[in-house]
Amino acid sequence: MNQFAPILPELILTVSGIVLMMVAAWGGRRSGGFTSWASVAVLVAATFALIGAPSHAGGVFGGLITADLFGSFGKAIIFIASAVAIIAAYGWFERDTEHSAEYSVLILFSALGGAVMVSATSLVTLYVGLELQSLASYVLASYRRTDERSAEAGLKYFVLGALASGILLYGISLLYGFTGTMNFNGIAAAFARDGTSSLGLLFGLVFVLAGVAFKVSAVPFHMWTPDVYEGAPTPVTAFFASAPKVAAVLLGTRVCLDALAPATDAWRQIVIFAALASIFLGAVAAFGQTNIKRLLAYSSINNVGFALVGLAAGTPQGASSVLFYMAVYVVMTLGAFLCVLWMRDENGDPIEDIASLSGLSQTRPAFAAAFAIFMFSLAGIPPLFGFWPKLLVFQAAVSSGLVALAVAAIVGTVVGAYYYLRIIKVMYMDEAGKPFSRVTQPIQGALIFLAAIAVSPLGYLLIGPLGAITDRAAGSIF
């Protein structure tokens, strides 16, 4: 049994997911509440199971995966974000004709795929984890089968996701063909020996990074994000913007800093381009948006760009800044989407227009204050906590001599602040429109409150402990 101890969280998710899938299949709609809360309990159990062997056992199963603090930190974020996405959906599917019981099971399997992704030290497990996470996501995007937008979102995600998987698989086949191994250590040794003088290795590197860039929705592989985020059910969009995003960013970080470490000069150029393109396109393209979910989609593209600035540094400090950034980003994004979930008209139907937020500070002052905190924090405006992770990635870039990159990213921050401030202007300066209906979801309300506290100036109390953990986690892959 000791050999299975390092993968205890994954085992918990696998066995529980299969059992709950059977419960959902036989129980139908009646089992929706049970499977939801059981799934949350499973994710909490998997998070606690990270304590011990899964955080320090090292390479297991012949180097297919590794159990280290870097992977455990990523898994903790993924599991918690997944649990919040399940809680956020509670009551959302009640009036649908579709079964709601399978939703939480799909989240479990997607979280399992994400856990495999952040622990992968072989191209085989990398691909298996990524596809497991993606297949569940395709179904989640099109979950409301009677909704044309949801069906369209699922189809677009599936077609473009299949294309990205093909690109990634081609890159994997090139790396395997020119190195003779799937293991990250073996690939790193081949790059150290041949460098980028081998065109085959260089093309393999480019195609693998292109496949990963699609999963993190970095420009120019971002085209699916706004449509899928807008069309998918809002709880699903909240999930897409958090857990799978963290899994993909950390997967890319491990690939670059482990398997491709000797070729830093080659992949750094790609990452710098993707970072700047994502920051500026994410900022500019959001200007004319009228749908809050599309705006938050461009916000996620913009934020991924900032995380990639830390990755471009290619140092332990850079890796630590990426981990810190993603942890804070998830809290800000989930908080914002939980607020979007509370945007309901007098009939209780969802509203997504930014204009509907007019004068919200007059009709729902606490709701408006929470939303404003998340917008200010996403914009990186001090003294809110969202400023600190941006500062960390800029410091990492400057320490590595990438001063021009840091300056350009800072300019991008200023440009992007406009559309966050526009939402605050609508809530606080425009005349009040129709008031939103009251949502009686105390658990969701508590989550919004906790997230708002975490990204408020009180969040700076977390700098010491969170920074220490991210430094140790980043050090485990060097």
Mean pLDDT of 229-241: 90
- Confidence class of residue 196 from pLDDT cuts 50, 70 and 90? low
Ranked by mean pLDDT, which of 17-21, 53-57, 146-150 comes out on top?
17-21
Q: Which of 55-59, 420-424, 436-440 has the lowest average pLDDT?
A: 436-440
C-alpha span between 315 and 313 (Å, rounded): 6
Q: Which of 95, 413, 453 is nearest to 282 (CA)?
A: 413
pLDDT value for 105: 92
Percent of the chain scored above 90 by pLDDT? 51
CA angle 5, 254, 17 (to 5 degrees): 45
The number of angstroms, rounded, from the C-alpha of 188 to the middle of its chain's C-alpha atoms is 27
Return the structure tokens found at 193: 């020996």
CA distance 125 to 122: 6
Find, among 377, 230, 253, the residue nearest to 316 by Cα: 253
What mean pLDDT do residues 276-300 have? 89
pLDDT for position 94:
60
* Residue 95 confidence (pLDDT): 54
Calculate mean pLDDT across residues 31-48: 89
Segment among 22-31, 102-111, 226-235, 244-253 with least mean pLDDT: 22-31
User: Alpha helix locations (H) across 120-147?
Assistant: 123-141
Asked if the model's pLDDT at residue 332 lies above 90, the reply is yes
- Span 395-419, average pLDDT: 91
pLDDT at 110: 94
Q: pTM for this one?
A: 0.93
Predicted confidence (pLDDT) at residue 433 exceeds the cutoff of 80? no
Check whether 97 has a pLDDT greater than 50. no
Q: What size, in residues, is the chain?
A: 478
Q: Which residue has the higher pLDDT, 111 or 90?
A: 111
The string of pLDDT tens digits covering residues 115-128 is 999 999 999 999 99
Q: Give pLDDT, residue 352.
A: 81
pLDDT score, position 341: 87
pLDDT of residue 80: 95
- Mean of all residue pLDDT scores within the chain: 88
For the chain, give every domain's residue range. Answer: 2-475
